[in-house]
Amino acid sequence: MRSSLPLLLLALAAPASATNRFPDAIRDTLTLAAPPACLLCHTSSGGGTGTATKPFAVSMRAAGLVPFNEPSLEAALAQLDADGTDSDGDGVGDIDELTAGTDPNAPPGAGEGEGEGQGQGEGVGEPVQYGFGCTSAPGMPLVVLALLALTRRARRRC
């Protein structure tokens, strides 16, 4: 039993990802060409607890989004659409921006330099980065290293 404890802890400490089904559910619900990237909601491409703080994520939570709950995601998207929610205040609703391929977090001209701030479709916001590659939560490598050290110590005692 002792030897299986570190394995169990390691399995529980496997890299945590953002609510990994949400990008596909957003794509399916809004009939997008591809799922949005983690950066639609998260401040880092790795996602993780406490990083879903972008304006669109805040609006989704206000509309009833619950982590790991697809029905709440679909309901929140419908609520944003019905309310015409415009998280970046550029005059174009979030759902319209997503379907046009633009970022509902960034008003036009938010980027610096020539060409930035121009999206696809109607040229509103920044282009949405498609694809999904959320990885481990911050601090997760330390947990794995600690578990490996405990496993090594247990082997020495045997």
Distance (Å, whole) CA 74 – CA 64 = 10
Sign for the CA dihedral angle at 71, 40, 81, 101 comes to: negative
Query: Which of 6-10, 109-113, 150-154 has the largest mean confidence?
Result: 150-154
pLDDT band at residue 80 using 50, 70 and 90 as cut-offs: very high
Tell me the whole-structure pTM to 2 decimals.
Answer: 0.61
Note whether 132 and 20 are within 8 A (CB): yes
pLDDT at 49: 80
Q: What is the pLDDT of residues 89-138, one digit of tens each?
A: 999 999 999 999 999 998 876 654 433 333 333 333 444 444 444 444 44
